[in-house]
Amino acid sequence: MKLISVAGARPNFMKIAPLTDAIAAHNAVSSPFIEHLLVHTGQHYDRLMSDLFFKELGIPEPDINLGVGGGSHAVQTAEIMRRIEPVLLEHRPDYLLVVGDVNSTIACALVAVKLGVRIIHVEAGLRSGDRGMPEEINRILTDAISDLLFTTERGAGDNLLREGVPADKIHFVGNVMIDTLLRHRARAEQSDLLERLGIAGEYGVVTLHRPSNVDDPVQLAMLLSALNEVSADLPLFFPVHPRTRSRLTDHGIPVSGAIRLVEPLGYLDFLKLQSSARLVMTDSGGIQEETTVLGVPCLTLRESTERPVTVTHGTNRLVPLERDAIIVAAREILDGGPISGRIPELWDGGAAERIVAILVNNAGKGA
């Protein structure tokens, strides 16, 4: 079986890592042999968002790097499509495996389906209900053209069934990103990040990168006003996405001295920062999942989430995008308000192995 998998942006790397390990483990002891090529589109291309993640997570050097770089959604998606097509034509894989919901995911899937290559989507079926999010469009379109859809929570399978995806294409396997977290948690605990940042007491963590939050100067100013107020009760550490940093500077948005802006962190350092935090405030999907497993209270600064299990089962809470609502929610946690949560079903570190087993089983059937 010939398989090409694609990684393009920081969230992809945590999902690809356990899959490359599971494929290697299968090939060491079992058949059929999975001939695996790893393609890095280069959608994220700086050291902290790409190269360092490959090193820390033990991901093999990509077989092919498309070197796409940044650009608008249209430019980036088109360039990925242009560069992946000759790769698929040359190697003629049986399957193309894509993960998550970034531009690399939909771009490569669109090229593959038109060439008759079967598509595997890992982390399928997640829906926020907000089509104003580019990621939501990427998710819906990728799922519509995929042949095997691997889900992280049971609700995702229900979403796919409602959209007309045949049940035999859908497989509930758990969460590969949590595979990575559990595998590297002990290493992350050994990080000296807190000492390097001079953290001695309680603190909170902030991340913001969604266009709806950072591209509108009024919205971003409101969020920083709320965070400035929260930081009076709890110092905040804010690894700043490059896009967010430029918006803060361009619009002259004031940032409290109790909010420390730091450069983007590697995977192990950021996992350490999260795991020791009193509170995390974010608009990231993956961080909602990680804090659920770490047992850390999380406030998601969005109107909706495509990961509802982190709310119904985990430690995540959706907060209205209003200054006072954010401040009140944070203070409820700091005042010892109830935070309960449990780890969702099959978030046990074995998702990647389950995926490989299903691929092998399908290959045996000639599927």
For residue 278, which of 319, 332, 225 has the smallest C-alpha distance? 332
C-alpha distances in Å from residue 43, one per residue of 194, 213, 214, 259, 262: 30, 21, 19, 29, 22
For residue 279, which of 226, 202, 221 has the smallest C-alpha distance? 202
Give me the DSSP letters along 35-102. Answer: EEEEEE--SS-STTTTHHHHHHHTPPPPSEE-------HHHHHHHHHHHHHHHHHHH--SEEEEETTS
C-alpha distances in Å from residue 181, one per residue of 92, 253, 348: 33, 34, 10
Which amino acid is present at 13? F
- Annotated active-site residue in 36, 40, 91, 209: 209
> Does 209 participate in catalysis according to the annotation?
yes
Look up residue 95 and give its two tokens.
């399957």
Q: How many CA atoms lie within 13 A of 246 on its CB side?
A: 6
Q: How many helices (H) and strands (E) does the chain have?
A: 16, 13
Backbone angles phi, psi at 235, to 5 degrees: -60, 140
Please list the active-site residues: 209
